[in-house]
Amino acid sequence: MGNIIGTSVSKKLVLKNRTDLETVSGGAVLEESISTILITRSANRKSREGGVRVFRRNIGLNLARFLFKSDNPTIRAQMVQEILRINMFEPRIRFSAQDVQISKDVLIDPYLWNIRIRYTIVSTGETKNQVFPIFAKERFAQVLPVITLPNVA
């Protein structure tokens, strides 16, 4: 049947040989897509700041406005609402607010947020349970390698 999800160029941009870029396929495509959307700043209508995507300024989230604030239930609820916008940008997956968990363990690392998303791949019905760690310090944010968790019924 072939790969339903697709194949794309790896965001690591590694050359396999002198002429071919490394590609990713299957679930790795979705992991990279979600990670990219999580960390990409979209256009902000209120401040008229442009997004970082030149031709698609509205793609991405505005998580940075939350990552650098103190952690509290209101901030987490606003983050969940922002994360739900991934459904608009990534039509290959679906999830709801109940599928998003946000945690921060200041004893381990005060700059590390863990965003856990349990999503369903639309084309296959397969459920993935993944943690997207985001390191955020001094106005800089980076998604660390994704952690895939076992699915629990």
Whether residue 15 lies inside any domain: the answer is yes
User: Do residues 102 and 113 touch, judged by C-beta distance below 8 A?
Assistant: yes
pLDDT tens-place string over residues 87-103? 999 999 999 999 999 99
Question: pTM for the full model?
Answer: 0.75
| Domain around 60 | 7-149
Question: Is residue 1 in some structural domain?
Answer: no
96 is a domain residue: yes
Looking at residue 40, which CATH number applies to its domain? 3.10.450.40
Measured CA to CA, the distance from residue 75 to residue 70 in angstroms comes to: 8
Q: Using pLDDT thresholds of 50, 70 and 90, give the confidence band for residue 149.
A: confident
Looking at the predicted structure, is the pLDDT value of residue 7 above 70?
no
Question: Residue 2 domain-assigned?
Answer: no
31 is a domain residue: yes
pLDDT, one tens digit per residue, over 103-116 is 987 788 888 999 99
Query: Is the separation of the CB atoms in 133 and 39 below 8 Å?
Result: no
- Per the structure, how many domains does the chain have? 1
Torsion, Cα of 135, 73, 85, 139 (10° steps):
-30
Residue 56 lies in a domain: yes
